[in-house]
Homo-oligomer: A and B are copies of this chain.
Amino acid sequence: MNAFEVDERLGRDSELLTQIGLCELRLMKDARWPWLVLVPQRADACEIFDLTPLDQTMLTFEINLVADALKRATGATKINVGALGNIVRQLHVHVIARSEGDPNWPGPVWGFGAAETWADERKAIFTKTLLEHLNS
């Protein structure tokens, strides 16, 4: 059995916010949307059904926890949840806050345009607010 390590590209495109049970909670380096990624800390998982039933339940619990906190933290119109993995095969779940009129609304975020860098202060405020909502 291999040890878990975050995929190189995923590691480059996102930064670690915290660990919650099964998953690393990471923030995408793209300020266009509040865009989180959950990465189950399991080596060699590509599809959700590669996880054990217990891990699947944990993942569901953590997706819901994060999605609910993200909605409350942002007041977004809709949370988008997706596990695609066509490029990065390591299992990871996107949780994105979408609002009417945001870039590519109502289309998906994946594959659209180029990432924009977070301003440090804005990122710090968003991260603090999110983590507060995760714990309440």
| A56 interfacial by beta-carbon distance below 8 Å | yes
| Known contacts A67-B48, A68-B49, A108-B110; is-contact A82 B79 (Cβ 8 Å) | no
Number of interface residues of A (CB under 8 A): 34
Inter-chain CA distance A107–B113, complex, in Å, is 12
Cβ–Cβ contact B108 & A108, under 8 A:
yes
Task: State the Cβ distance, A65 to closest chain B Cβ, in Å.
Answer: 8
Task: State the Cβ distance, A62 to closest chain B Cβ, in Å.
Answer: 11
| A28 interfacial by beta-carbon distance below 8 Å | no
Q: Name, among A61, A71, A83, A87, the residue most crowded by chain B CB atoms within 10 Å (CB to CB).
A: A83
Task: State the Cβ distance, A41 to closest chain B Cβ, in Å.
Answer: 18
| A78 interfacial by beta-carbon distance below 8 Å | yes
Residues of A within 8 A of B (CB): 46-49, 56-57, 59-61, 63-64, 67-68, 71, 77-87, 89, 98, 104-108, 110-111
